[in-house]
């Protein structure tokens, strides 16, 4: 089963990818995806980390910034 992705409006700026921050990755990417990880808790993730750390049958939320 494939991941389901829903898009929601988000504030003026994206949160950072939790895995980029914790892992000390550079550059730190935007956490465009919000969803469950294979470890259980939800996290803000960039596209690369979303593919690495989420179950394939999960539902993801994609954030879209709102322009003023």
Q: What is the 3-state secondary structure (H, E, C) of 11-33?
A: CCCCCECHHHHHHCCCCCCECCE
Domain coordinates in residue numbering, the chain: 4-65
Query: CA-to-CA distance for 12 and 63, rounded, in angstroms?
Result: 11
Residue 68 pLDDT class (50, 70, 90 cuts): very low
Q: What is the pTM (predicted TM-score) of this model?
A: 0.80
The 10s digit of each residue's pLDDT in 18-67 is: 999 999 989 999 999 999 999 989 999 999 999 999 998 888 888 887 65
Prior bond of 27 cis (ω within 30°)? yes
């Amino acid at each position: 089963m494939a991941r389901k992705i829903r898009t929601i409006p988000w504030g003026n700026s994206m949160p950072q990818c939790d895995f980029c921050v914790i892992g000390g990755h550079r550059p730190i990417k935007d956490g465009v995806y919000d969803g469950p990880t294979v470890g259980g808790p939800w996290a803000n993730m960039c596209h690369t980390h979303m593919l690495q750390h989420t179950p394939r049958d999960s539902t993801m939320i994609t954030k879209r910034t709102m322009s003023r």
